[in-house]
Structure 1
Amino acid sequence: MRQHQTRFTIPTHGKGLVEITREVADWLDQTDIETGLVTLLCRHTSASLLINENAASAVPRDTLRWLERIAPEGPHYEHDDEGPDDMPAHLRSVLTGASLSVPVGEGRLLLGTWQGIFLAEHRARPHRREIVAHVIGD
């Protein structure tokens, strides 16, 4: 059993989804792991990770609109230290999650045909987000 670990720094442009499937797949290819499990962790409380459709451009837009309806900005939050998008960003992160696990087979991510890995930026301004990737396997 072997293990590898790396960190990705992903620039964002404010609220939105950034697909990181290619970055993860390229790194996995360098590890020579054929069968195993990749775990990803977003090291932030106002950004998150999700697996979603990566073919239809409407899916990310609809996902973001849904998150905005579930956790809207407004004066009704006690926590607003960094502005009106602060607490809603934390709530959206809780809903979508900070980590993902993806099986590896034949040296590649075993995602479905239309699945991609996305970093969700929940804050209005651009950030540089760090993702930790770990793979274990043979």
Structure 2
Amino acid sequence: MKEKLHSYFSCLMAVIILFSTTSWKVEKHYCMGHLVDVAFFVDAQDCGMDMSSNSKEIAKVEKKSCCDEELIAFEGQNNVKPSFNDFDLEHQRFLITYIQSYIGLFVPSSEKRQSYVKYIPPKIVKNIQLLDAVFLI
């Protein structure tokens, strides 16, 4: 259960980082009020009814185009890596202490040598505690 929860959480964090660092762009092209094209990450194709402006038409009053474009953009983060230069002395002390205590968890403990492994205790003939009326409370 713990391994599955850990893998789900790590996948969720990877997806969150992916979405927070990616720039998104949705562009929509409308022609006469009707949606013609929707494009993700690229420019939307026009309907081909754009008014071409010649040099003679520049002098005339510009006519309003029948086409509209809508752009929805989201700029992602560019600086995801933390900078270790921003830590002051107190943060550095805490980080060093935490790392040393964490590394200390994985030091193999030496097994205590038992000298009485081959010692066989004597057989109990009578219950001495009951005879002496000595009980542990």
TM-score normalised by length of structure 1? 0.18
Give 1 or 2 for the bigger CA radius of gyration: 2
Higher relative contact order (CA 8 A, sep 6+): 1
More helix by share: 2
TM-score normalised by length of structure 2? 0.18
